[in-house]
Amino acid sequence: MSWVKQTFSSSIGRKFAMALSALFLLFFLLQHFAINFLSVFSEELFNEVSHFMGTNPLVQFALQPILIFGVVFHFVMGFVLEIKNKNARDVKYAMNKGAANSTWFSRNMIWSGLVILGFIGLHFYDFWIPEINVKYIQGDMSGMINGEYRYYEELVHKFHDPIRVGLYVLSFVFLAMHLKHGFQSAFQSAGARHDKYTPGIKKLGDIYAILIPAGFIFIALYHHLTAI
């Protein structure tokens, strides 16, 4: 385990580990969006996919714990890197010209990250905790109420509340800000840094940072407005 300790004791090692967790979460976010987007087009398909994901042993007992670990690790490592970076600034400049050397998004990753962390807590409260309660405390693995799958109705019910929808929209705006810098940074820290590929990665990151959060916002607004 000495190589693990050596990796996390170095700045490069910590950034590399942070990048790997970010890439993993980027993939999960895309998959999560794809499933949720089904709710706009097909209630039946959304219910079937949600039931499969919610009852499949591989997803529940292997992938889900890995996901939770990845989320916790990413945010803890983000805070660690932020503290390390602040402590490394021994020389205090009379005038901070941060805007000349970095983007606003990169300088405020910790704040956008905190908002996203708060949103994850809300999302767990809305969906994950009730799901765990139904399946593993009440012991109901059928996923049904009155002979019909409950997933779509539960999703729509949460978006009745305009305050909750507003919090979701605001959170996804902050997610877009976080992804704007985080996408490209993750690839660079993982070693994908080359004059030939970096511009393409940046463009892909910009597209991802806009479309995925915008897609989640669309889902929330769609179910809120169609339920009125």
Q: Does the pLDDT at position 178 exceed 80?
A: yes
pLDDT tens-digit series, residues 1-18: 544 555 556 677 778 888
pLDDT of 201: 86
User: pLDDT class for 101, splitting at 50, 70, 90?
Assistant: low
| Third-level CATH fold of 2-87+105-227 | 3 helical TM bundles of succinate and fumarate reductases (1.20.1300)
pLDDT tens-digit series, residues 186-213: 888 777 776 777 888 889 999 999 999 9
**Percentage above 70 pLDDT, the chain:** 86
Distance CA 75, CA 193 (A): 24
The mean pLDDT value of the chain amounts to 85
pLDDT tens-digit series, residues 107-120: 778 888 889 999 99
Lowest mean pLDDT among 26-35, 102-111, 118-127, 175-184: 102-111
pLDDT of 170: 95
**Domain assignments of the chain as residue spans, ordered by start:** 2-87+105-227
